[in-house]
């Protein structure tokens, strides 16, 4: 089917740009007459699902067809193969496939449709976009996939640079000014600050973002909300939507997700949006209030991440020339509200968006490639033809070249002599490369701090003037809707490293630890534990309902159990932590626990705490805790991580609890 949109006149030379996204993929074509988005599917949409499905005969299908067949072969479908880039293989059904082949299939489908809509001739050049936080390893997967798809040696353009180029076409930005891009897609948030140059844009500082987080998470919460409402009228039918028993109900479940996504997008212009639950026939609505209750906290967190990234780039928000919103989920009304509320007044006026923010990245990449051929040529290996020069000109050229060689040679020698280069890798607690880990490098002399951030492969590097340095590292994580900063540790267990003045270090590697002892590796008096510790205070109330532990025999034992209700701060599965103390140990430092008797090194996370008293005959009596607001006593106390170490988890973070025994146990004795 030919696109009903206005076609540009395709000449013998045209260019193609592909934005391979987590949930959807977009493309754009450009020539001397202009640019346009490639359209997909019967509805001629500017995006194609990124999903892939492996058929029984071993054929990979992609896009809308893969999404349609997913109800028939759910285990053989991957809706977001981009998440696997960086791994060697992924599994579809009982087959293991090379990730590069799966990505290649998606790119080939997009390229074929673009070529069909462009008269059948192949593009002269192809650009692929990539997240700015991706390192060279994942970029190489894109290059290899493009080669296998027959696209040749492609040009890679970072997504924020492409988005900035597209917006700049409509909003002139003078060279030297800076802008910020907030790109909220289906599966990730990407944030970057860029400076305008005479040839386009370049990154300032290190990009930020949240992964995973995006429109898919919001869709899932809204779908759960709709199912809950429908269950009031047809609980049996909704149960089948949650766990489809056959192909028909899998199709209904997929249709519900599509309806919810459409209703969410409609909320940008109408309130409420109506929908009918497939298979159940129940009519319901979604309102902006529903959207707010489902995702307001996460939207606020995404704006906080945006502000953090801008701050880390050493650019103040009021200094920005514009804030550009890209990605299919950036049109959410809640995002505009959060930006207005959190940006310094009147900086909300800097916010810019366009009618089709999802296609902005592909269109910007296409126009950048077409406009700046010198940049594109520089990214390709080329063989230059040497043209003979007149003798006099050649002599002058050789003199200039000699002078430049001396100057450049001196500069290199100066840098080698007078800089202290550090580089390394950061890994999480499971040994995987940790992207977007913020490191602080601090001088001994003036306490000046230099900040850097890891790339998508967990690598970082920084050049410093010669001198003695203290290097400490930390990473900011999202946990329970809040930002928590956790120190990193050296592979040898030290938390702070002292660099010598004599030279750089190229293996300054770091690990994320949420428990374990921190050594004083640099001789700086910094030690403790990466987990938190709990101080137990003797508690009682004035009404006599709760009595203090000091009323009991000192040899009786109290067992504390810390149970995590969900994942820990690093996403790992937590396990119950059990600690036993005698009452004498608990009260050894006056009325509270002594330093050596603290409940120490509990892995960072939120916990529900219980305590029991062993009275010596096999009987265990539950003890009670005073609530955080001091209003009630309960056998279970929730300790949220935010209450333990707020936004910064330092060595040996502490929290205190008050424990007592209900007095009727004493009276019964």
pLDDT band, very low/low/confident/very high, at 415 (cuts 50, 70, 90)? very low
pLDDT tens digits for 576-595? 999 998 888 887 643 443 44
pLDDT band, very low/low/confident/very high, at 145 (cuts 50, 70, 90)? very high
Dist CA 21 CA 362 (whole Å): 10
Say which residue the tokens 């929730």 belong to: 638
- Tokens for 432, please give them: 């995987």
Instruction: Work out the percent of the chain whose per-residue pLDDT is above 90.
Output: 20
Dist CA 51 CA 67 (whole Å): 7
C-beta pairs of 589-595 under 8 Å, 24+ apart in sequence? 591/537, 591/538, 591/548, 591/550, 592/535, 592/536, 592/537, 592/538, 592/656, 593/535, 593/536, 593/537
- H/E run at residue 623: none
Q: Quick one: pLDDT at residue 625?
A: 92
Cβ–Cβ under 8 Å, residues 145 and 109: no
Residue predicted with more confidence, 377 or 495: 495
How far is residue 402 CA from its own chain's centroid?
48
Say which residue the tokens 């700015």 belong to: 132
Query: Phi first, then psi: what are they for 97, rounded to 5°?
Result: -120, 150
Q: Name residues whose C-beta falls within 8 Å of residue 132's C-beta, 6 or more positions apart in sequence.
A: 158, 159, 160, 161, 190, 192, 203, 207
- Tokens for 246, please give them: 């056959």
Query: Phi first, then psi: what are they for 46, rounded to 5°?
Result: -85, 15
- Which range among 134-143, 430-439, 449-458, 537-546 has the greatest average pLDDT? 134-143
Say which residue the tokens 């790339």 belong to: 455
Q: Quick one: pLDDT at residue 525?
A: 39
Three-class DSSP category at 282? strand
Dist CA 475 CA 477 (whole Å): 6
Dist CA 80 CA 90 (whole Å): 11
Cβ–Cβ under 8 Å, residues 199 and 372: yes
Instruction: Work out the percent of the chain whose per-residue pLDDT is above 70.
Output: 80
Burial class, 362, CB count within 10 angstroms (exposed 0-12 / middle 13-18 / buried 19+): buried
Q: Given the DSSP bridges, would you call strands 438-443 and 449-453 parallel, antiparallel or unpaired?
A: antiparallel
Taking Cα atoms as reference points, which of 647, 438, 652 lies closest to residue 525? 652
Dist CA 335 CA 352 (whole Å): 12
- Residue 544 is given by DSSP the state S
Taking Cα atoms as reference points, which of 544, 579, 559 lies closest to residue 622? 559
Residue 365 vs residues 156, 316, 480, 620: alpha-carbon distances, Å: 9, 27, 36, 68
Sign of CA dihedral 491, 492, 494, 497: negative
- Tokens for 348, please give them: 């909300």
Cβ–Cβ under 8 Å, residues 390 and 435: no
The average pLDDT across 556-576 equals 89
- Angle at which helix 247-266 crosses helix 235-242, to 10 degrees, equals 90
- Tokens for 535, please give them: 């101080």
**Neighbour count for residue 39 (Cβ, 10 Å):** 21
Dist CA 467 CA 225 (whole Å): 58
Taking Cα atoms as reference points, which of 67, 174, 154, 169 lies closest to residue 369? 154
- Residue 261 is given by DSSP the state H
Residue predicted with more confidence, 402 or 204: 204
Q: Given the DSSP bridges, would you call strands 449-453 and 273-277 parallel, antiparallel or unpaired?
A: unpaired
**Neighbour count for residue 224 (Cβ, 10 Å):** 12
- Which range among 369-378, 507-516, 559-568 has the greatest average pLDDT? 559-568
Dist CA 115 CA 128 (whole Å): 16
Which three-class secondary structure string do you get for 37-64? ECCECCCCECCEECCEEECCCCCEEEHH
The average pLDDT across 40-69 equals 90
pLDDT tens digits for 15-29? 999 999 988 999 999
Q: Name residues whose C-beta falls within 8 Å of residue 230's C-beta, 6 or more positions apart in sequence.
A: 237, 238, 241, 277, 280, 282, 284
The pTM for the full model equals 0.57
Alpha-helical (H) ranges within 134-246 are 136-148, 159-170, 215-231, 235-242
pLDDT tens digits for 315-365? 889 989 889 998 878 877 788 888 888 888 778 788 888 767 888 899 999
pLDDT band, very low/low/confident/very high, at 4 (cuts 50, 70, 90)? very low
The average pLDDT across 174-198 equals 88
pLDDT tens digits for 237-281? 888 888 888 888 888 888 888 888 888 878 877 888 888 888 888
Dist CA 306 CA 148 (whole Å): 36
pLDDT tens digits for 456-514? 778 887 766 666 666 677 777 778 877 777 878 776 666 566 666 555 666 778 888 88
- Tokens for 426, please give them: 């950061």
Q: Quick one: pLDDT at residue 505?
A: 64
Q: What number of CA atoms fall less than 13 Å from residue 561's CA on the CB side?
A: 12
CA-based angle 392:394:400, to the nearest 5?
Answer: 105
pLDDT tens digits for 113-137? 999 998 888 998 999 999 888 888 8
Residue 149, pLDDT > 90, answer yes
Residue 50, pLDDT > 90, answer yes
Dist CA 64 CA 142 (whole Å): 22
Taking Cα atoms as reference points, which of 241, 238, 216 lies closest to residue 228? 238
The average pLDDT across 25-40 equals 89
**Neighbour count for residue 5 (Cβ, 10 Å):** 13
The average pLDDT across 524-537 equals 70
Cβ–Cβ under 8 Å, residues 568 and 603: yes
Dist CA 142 CA 154 (whole Å): 9
Q: Virtual CA dihedral for 60, 2, 263, 106, nearest 10 degrees?
A: 20
The average pLDDT across 213-221 equals 82
Residue 395, pLDDT > 60, answer no
pLDDT band, very low/low/confident/very high, at 643 (cuts 50, 70, 90)? confident
Dist CA 522 CA 492 (whole Å): 11
**Neighbour count for residue 260 (Cβ, 10 Å):** 24
Asked if CATH classification 2.60.40.10 holds for the domain at 416-527, the reply, yes or no, is: yes
Q: Name residues whose C-beta falls within 8 Å of residue 387's C-beta, 6 or more positions apart in sequence.
A: none
**Neighbour count for residue 236 (Cβ, 10 Å):** 8
Cβ–Cβ under 8 Å, residues 444 and 466: no
Residues forming beta bridges with residue 61, ordered by sequence position: 53
- Residue 440 is given by DSSP the state E
- Angle at which helix 288-312 crosses helix 333-342, to 10 degrees, equals 50
Dist CA 220 CA 653 (whole Å): 35
Say which residue the tokens 């929290």 belong to: 655
């Amino acid at each position: 089917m030919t696109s009903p949109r206005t076609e540009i006149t395709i000449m013998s030379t045209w260019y193609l740009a592909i934005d391979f996204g987590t949930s959807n993929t977009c493309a754009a074509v450009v020539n001397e007459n202009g640019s346009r988005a490639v359209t997909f599917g019967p509805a001629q949409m500017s995006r194609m699902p990124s999903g892939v499905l492996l058929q029984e005969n071993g054929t990979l299908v992609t896009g809308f067809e893969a999404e349609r067949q997913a109800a028939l072969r759910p285990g053989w479908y991957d809706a977001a193969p981009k998440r696997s880039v960086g791994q060697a293989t992924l599994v579809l059904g009982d087959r293991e496939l090379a990730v590069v082949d799966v990505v290649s299939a998606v790119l080939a489908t997009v390229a074929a449709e673009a070529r069909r809509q462009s008269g059948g001739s192949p593009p002269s050049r192809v650009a692929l976009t990539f997240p700015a936080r991706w390192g060279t390893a994942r970029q190489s997967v894109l290059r290899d996939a493009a080669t296998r798809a027959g696209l040749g040696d492609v040009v890679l353009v970072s997504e924020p640079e492409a988005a900035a180029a597209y917006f700049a076409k409509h909003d002139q930005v003078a060279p030297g000014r800076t802008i910020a891009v907030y790109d909220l897609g289906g599966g990730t948030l990407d944030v970057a600050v860029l400076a305008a140059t005479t040839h386009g844009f370049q990154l300032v500082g290190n990009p930020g973002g949240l992964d995973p987080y995006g429109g898919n998470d919001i869709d899932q919460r809204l779908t759960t909300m709709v199912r809950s409402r429908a269950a009031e009228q047809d609980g049996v039918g909704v149960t089948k939507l949650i766990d489809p028993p056959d192909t028909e109900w899998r199709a209904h479940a997929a249709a519900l997700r599509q309806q919810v996504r459409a209703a969410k997008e409609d909320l940008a212009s109408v309130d409420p949006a109506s929908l009918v639950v497939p298979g159940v026939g129940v009519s319901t609505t979604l309102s902006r209030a529903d959207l707010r209750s489902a995702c307001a906290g996460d939207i606020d967190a995404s704006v906080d991440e945006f502000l953090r990234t801008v701050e880390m780039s050493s650019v103040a928000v009021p200094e920005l020339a514009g804030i550009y919103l890209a990605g299919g989920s950036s049109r959410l009304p809640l995002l505009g509200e959060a930006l207005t509320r959190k940006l310094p007044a009147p900086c909300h006026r800097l916010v810019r968006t366009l009618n089709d923010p999802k296609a902005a990245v592909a269109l910007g990449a296409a126009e950048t490639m077409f406009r700046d051929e010198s940049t594109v040529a520089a990214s390709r290996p080329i063989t230059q033809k040497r043209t003979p020069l007149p003798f006099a000109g050649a002599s002058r050229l050789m003199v200039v070249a000699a002078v430049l060689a001396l100057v450049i040679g001196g500069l290199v020698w100066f840098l080698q002599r007078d800089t202290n280069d550090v580089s390394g890798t950061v890994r999480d607690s499971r040994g995987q490369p940790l992207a977007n880990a913020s490191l602080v490098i601090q001088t001994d002399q003036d306490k000046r701090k230099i900040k850097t951030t890891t790339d998508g492969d967990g690598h970082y590097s920084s050049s410093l003037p010669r001198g003695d340095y203290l290097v400490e590292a930390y990473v900011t994580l999202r946990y329970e809707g809040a930002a928590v900063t956790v120190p990193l540790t050296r592979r040898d267990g030290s938390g702070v490293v002292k660099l010598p003045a004599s030279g750089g270090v190229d293996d300054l590697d770091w690990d994320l630890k949420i428990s374990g002892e921190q050594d004083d590796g640099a001789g700086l008096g910094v030690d403790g534990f990466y987990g938190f510790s709990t101080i137990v205070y003797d508690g009682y109330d004035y009404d006599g309902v709760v009595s203090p532990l000091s009323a009991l025999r000192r040899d009786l034992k109290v067992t504390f159990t810390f149970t995590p209700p969900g994942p820990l701060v690093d996403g790992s599965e937590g396990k119950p932590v059990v600690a036993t103390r005698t009452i004498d140990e608990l009260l050894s430092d006056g009325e509270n626990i002594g330093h050596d008797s603290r409940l120490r090194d509990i892995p960072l996370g939120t916990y529900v705490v219980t305590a029991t008293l062993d009275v010596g005959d096999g009987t265990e009596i539950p003890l009670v805790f005073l609530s955080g607001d001091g209003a009630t006593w309960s056998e279970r106390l929730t300790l949220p991580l935010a209450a333990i170490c707020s936004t910064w988890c330092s060595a040996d973070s502490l929290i205190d609890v008050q424990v007592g025994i209900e007095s009727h146990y004493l009276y019964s004795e």
